[in-house]
């Protein structure tokens, strides 16, 4: 690098260009702004501005009953909405001390791993799009449509699912849901294999992504990285193994870990995680099929305070009517306490810090959003790289604007 003469402030011959990678950039990522100083094509520094989609979730949550908070959690990481929903329900269950039956846990795991696949699918195909390969995105979005159809069978909605209840699901999975799941399990692995063959050993892709945006494990830990970004840097921290929730300890899966933490490692870690999620879904599906008789109809835990009673009971029994009324009006009081519980979201450890004071709504609910925490490191990741590398780093970090601003 040649020596540059240090010029006095405000001099006309400033040798870095300031460009604004502004809030409106191509549709895929969401709204955040980077003001990047470039020296030729090399990035000297980057300063981020977020908050362009601040919707004040934490303030809204102080005025809403628990079931009304579930649609809010949907909109945090909207690419994998059921994960956030179940994270919130698991937090409430831990607060109330409810133990869900095994079948509910296995069904939840199937849906959670499906949403993890759909999130990693988007991230990897967008890395492809940003490096110029648009067709991978189109091929994989078809399978996202299949996943959407499975969600529709279970809860009625495609993207912002509001799925499940405290204690389980609102209805049993229909036979069509299982048929669609089987179809997905048959058709998805060959498609993912094709995607792999297109990208993983592709000379151009490797040149674009190896060595781009690296981060060492110590810096990643200091920055509070979690999830695939941390695992790409070499630390095998996965909330599913550390604090198993929803019977993850019954399943046999490995955690892929990278070494250098650059974009290629992140891509590979997400790719391998999709294969591992497929393994988990196969095992969970088998386990669900093994439930016979009365156990095969269980789809929720027995929580009269928070789970709507059967309609025929509501029309005939008095307590069911009262519970129904209280739950719908949101007047059931949460027990006093404070709890922090976290799940492995698609981007990392999604944590819910809940303080209740005995009223109908939480006193304070704070979301520990992984995207917000690791976006701070962006300026360190891109320093010294080229501008196009900065774009690929941004897309491989999987920044979802809803989670960034909450």
Write out the binding residues for another protein, residues 312-351 only, by CB under 8 A.
337-340, 342, 349, 351
Q: Is residue 386 within the footprint of another protein (CB under 8 A)? A: no
Cβ 122 to another protein, closest distance in Å? 8
C-alpha–C-alpha distance, residues 124 and 119, integer Å: 9
Q: Which of 25, 102, 360, 383 binds another protein (CB under 8 A)?
A: 25
Residue closer to another protein, measured from CB, 8 or 190: 190
Distance (Å, whole) CA 176 – CA 154:
10
CA angle 265, 267, 273 (to 5 degrees): 100
Residue in this structure with the two tokens 């701070």, named with its chain if needed: 376
20 touches another protein by CB under 8 A: no
Q: Which of 403, 405, 386, 399 is nearest to 131 (CA)?
A: 386
Tell me: does residue 178 bind another protein (CB under 8 A): no
Among 23, 211, 304, 309, binds another protein (CB under 8 A): 23
Contact 347, 227 (CB under 8 A): yes
> 364 pairs with which residues across the strands?
355
Q: For residues 222-251, which are near another protein according to CB under 8 A?
A: 222-224, 235, 237, 242-243
45, 128, 212, 382 from 385: Cα distances, Å: 10, 19, 7, 5
Alpha carbon distance 185, 283 (integer Å): 11
Residue 323 CB, shortest distance to another protein, in Å, is: 22
Minimum separation from the CB atom of position 12 to another protein (A)? 27
Question: CA angle at residue 304 from 109 to 81, to 5 degrees?
Answer: 30
The smaller minimum CB distance to another protein, of residues 251 and 352, is found at 352
State the minimum distance, in angstroms, from the CB of residue 361 to another protein. 11
Task: By CB under 8 A, tell whether 296 contacts another protein.
Answer: no
In angstroms, what is the minimal distance from the CB of 328 to another protein?
18
Q: What is the footprint of another protein within residues 32-51 (CB under 8 A)?
A: 50-51
Contact call for residue 122 and another protein (CB under 8 A) = yes
Report H helices in 210-331.
Answer: 217-222, 228-233, 239-242, 263-289, 311-316, 318-329
Q: How far apart are CA 68 and CA 331, in angstroms?
A: 12
Q: Cα separation of 79 and 395, whole Å?
A: 14
Residue 291 is a binding residue for another protein (CB under 8 A): no
List of residues 6+ apart from 46 with CB closer than 8 A:
34, 35, 36, 37, 378, 379, 382, 383, 390
User: Binding another protein by CB under 8 A: which of 90, 95, 192, 263?
Assistant: 95
Question: Binders of another protein among 49-88, rule CB under 8 A?
Answer: 50-56, 58-60, 62-63, 71-72, 74-75, 78-79
Stretch that binds another protein, among 106-114, 244-252, 362-370, 384-392 (CB under 8 A): 362-370
Q: Per rule CB under 8 A, is residue 211 in the interface with another protein? A: no
Q: State which residue, 67 or 264, has the beta carbon closest to another protein.
A: 67
């Amino acid at each position: 690098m040649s020596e540059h003469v240090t010029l006095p402030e405000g001099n006309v011959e400033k040798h870095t260009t300031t460009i604004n990678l502004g809030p409106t950039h191509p549709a895929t990522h969401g709204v955040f702004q980077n003001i990047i100083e470039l020296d030729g094509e090399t990035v000297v520094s980057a300063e981020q501005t977020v908050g362009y989609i601040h919707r004040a979730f934490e303030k809204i949550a102080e005025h809403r009953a628990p079931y009304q908070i579930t649609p809010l959690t949907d909109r945090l990481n909207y690419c994998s909405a059921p994960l956030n929903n179940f994270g919130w329900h698991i937090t409430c269950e831990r607060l109330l001390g409810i133990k869900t039956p095994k079948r509910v846990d296995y069904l939840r795991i199937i849906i959670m791993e499906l949403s993890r696949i759909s999130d990693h699918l988007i991230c990897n195909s967008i890395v492809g799009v940003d490096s110029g390969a648009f067709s991978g995105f189109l091929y994989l979005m078809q399978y996202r449509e299949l996943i959407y159809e499975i969600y529709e069978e279970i809860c009625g909605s495609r993207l912002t699912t509001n799925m499940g209840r405290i204690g389980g699901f609102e209805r049993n999975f229909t036979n069509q849901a299982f048929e669609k799941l089987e179809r997905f399990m048959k058709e998805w692995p060959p498609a993912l294999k094709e995607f792999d063959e297109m990208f993983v050993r592709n000379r151009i892709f490797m040149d674009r992504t190896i060595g781009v945006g690296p981060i060492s494990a110590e810096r990643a830990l200091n920055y509070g990285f979690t999830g695939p970004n941390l695992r790409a840097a070499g630390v095998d921290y996965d909330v599913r193994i550390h604090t198993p929730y929803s019977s993850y300890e019954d399943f046999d899966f490995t955690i892929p870990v990278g070494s250098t933490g650059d974009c290629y490692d992140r891509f590979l870690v997400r790719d391998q995680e999709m294969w591992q999620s497929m393994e988990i879904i196969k095992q969970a599906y088998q386990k669900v099929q093994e439930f016979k008789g009365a156990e095969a109809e269980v789809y929720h835990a027995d929580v009269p305070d928070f789970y709507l009673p059967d309609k025929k009971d509501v029309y005939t029994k008095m307590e069911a009517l009262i519970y129904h009324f209280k739950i719908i009006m949101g007047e059931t009081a949460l027990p006093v306490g404070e709890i922090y519980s976290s799940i492995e979201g698609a981007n990392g450890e999604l944590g819910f810090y809940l303080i209740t004071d005995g009223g109908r709504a939480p006193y304070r609910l704070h979301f520990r959003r992984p995207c917000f925490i690791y976006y701070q490191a962006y300026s360190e990741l891109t320093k010294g790289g080229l501008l196009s590398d900065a774009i690929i780093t941004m897309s491989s970090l999987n920044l979802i604007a809803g989670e960034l601003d909450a």
